[in-house]
Amino acid sequence: MDERVREHADVLVDWSARVDPGDHVVVSVAEDAHDLGVAVAEALGERGAAVTTLYGSEEMTRAYLKGSEAATENARDEDGLDDPDSAAPGFPDPAVDRALFEAADVYLRLGGGRNTAATADVGRRTRRAYARTRQGVREARMDTDWVSTVHPTRSLAQQAGMAYGEYRDFVYDAVLRDWEALAGEMAEMKRVLDSGEEVRLRTEREDAPDTDVTMSIAGRTAVNSAASVAYDSHNLPSGEVFTAPYDAEGEVFFDVPMTIDATRVRNVRLVFEAGEVVEFAADSGEEALESVLETDPGARRLGELGIGMNRGIDRFTDSILFDEKMGDTVHLAVGRAYDACLPDGECGNESAVHVDMISDVSANSRLEIDGEVVQRNGTFRWEDGFEA
């Protein structure tokens, strides 16, 4: 086993999840993340944790959803129903899954499947119905000290357009970092966001639509996402500062390609009025985008503003886990807002989805907070090379 796999496991268990002796830990292991799963199990055993292991297979999820679609279609035919809305399966209450996470202290998701498009042929109505049914499971899972990471696999390397060995180096360069030092660097961005009331993002490009969007952040608390639950951060790797905006106005263009529901989506444009998406378009994958926005009322509102600050991630890979952390990027997510950004007792935007979209801000851009430019063309005002 590559020694870096064990180092990855140690960072995950010690720095990221902060597992204590006696903690009940649920570990979901994707099909090709076996080596990392073994290393994590060893690390958890050394720390005296109780472990429950799940098989996190997208291919099995596809099989279940396709079977549900077939059963629903047969029932429609037998009943003579013509209503297209009846084509969405009705899923039973996932009470066992919910109870499992309600009893857990820590949840670790080890991604790394065999096919990044495993569920591409599942109907969008089915995906929406399944997501709505499992919202309670998602909430119970997010109440744990959860951390999501990935094991470098050939499928992810292929999606990133990289050789397998090259991709492994890329992943470990992003994961095996001095996280404490990076947390210190990001603290200034958190301070600026915490003291601000309004954010304005503007880009002006000849070859793409302009972005000019404002959003309120008054009363919100930004998260210094330093890859540890101690920082209210739940991804490894990480390297972003994010908050929960509201009352968005204007339009924004996302020029970084992404995969939504196993569908490639490019060049997304959203228009906001009174905090809600009122227009949308995409050069490709527009149906997938529409499916997300139609999930529920909260799916048309913002749940996150994130600012990438991990300059160890040096290229886009079509993986949100990495791409949204890259320096010189800003991302917005429609859907659920994270509780860590909200005042005690306040509910932010609620939704069964949380979908991030990314803008490259390395040129012809500026990020303003309360009218003051804090980042221009990807450079922060406290960094060398900043132009006021």
What CATH number should be reported for the domain holding residue 83? 3.40.1830.10
Residues 156 and 185 in one domain: no
Distance of CA 99 to the CA centre of its chain: 24
CB 44, CB 50: distance < 8 Å: no
Model pLDDT, residue 124:
83
Q: Quickly list DSSP for 143-176.
A: TSEEEEEE---HHHHHHHT--HHHHHHHHHHHHS
- Cross-strand partners of 359: 330
Provide the whole-model pTM. 0.82
pLDDT digit string, tens, across residues 245-301: 999 999 999 999 998 877 889 999 999 999 999 999 999 999 999 999 998 999 999
First vs last C-alpha separation in the chain: 49
Q: In the listed set 145, 175, 205, which residue is the last one of a domain according to the structure? A: 175
Task: Flag whether pLDDT at 98 surpasses 90.
Answer: yes
pLDDT of 206 reads 84
State the CB neighbour count (10 A cutoff) for residue 126. 19
Report, as an integer, the average pLDDT of 44-49: 98
Query: What pLDDT is attached to residue 73?
Result: 80
Task: Please check whether residues 211 and 107 belong to one and the same domain.
Answer: no
Confidence of residue 116 (pLDDT cuts 50, 70, 90): confident
Residue 92 included in any domain: yes
Domain limit, last residue, from 175, 200, 221: 175
> Are residues 212 and 154 both part of a single domain?
no
Query: Which residues span the domain enclosing 109?
Result: 3-175
147 domain residue, yes or no: yes
Q: What is the pLDDT of residues 72-96, one digit of tens each?
A: 887 666 555 555 555 678 899 999 9
Q: What is the pLDDT of residue 65?
A: 94
Do residues 303 and 185 share a domain?
yes
Mean per-residue pLDDT, 10-17 = 98
pLDDT at 89: 86
- Count of structural domains within the chain: 2
387 domain residue, yes or no = no
> Strand, coil or helix: what is 214?
strand
pLDDT score for 368: 97
pLDDT surpassing 70 at residue 160 = yes
pLDDT interval class at 105 (50, 70, 90): very high
Is residue 324, in this structure, part of any structural domain at all? Answer: yes
Give me the percent of the chain exceeding a pLDDT of 70.
Answer: 97
What is the mean pLDDT of the segment spanning 330-356? 92
Question: Residue 384 pLDDT > 90, yes or no?
Answer: no
* Mean pLDDT of the chain, nearest integer: 93
Model pLDDT, residue 127: 87
How many helical (H) and strand (E) elements, i.e. helices and strands, does the chain have? 11, 19
* pLDDT attached to residue 77: 60
* CB burial of residue 133 (10 Å; 0-12, 13-18, 19+): middle
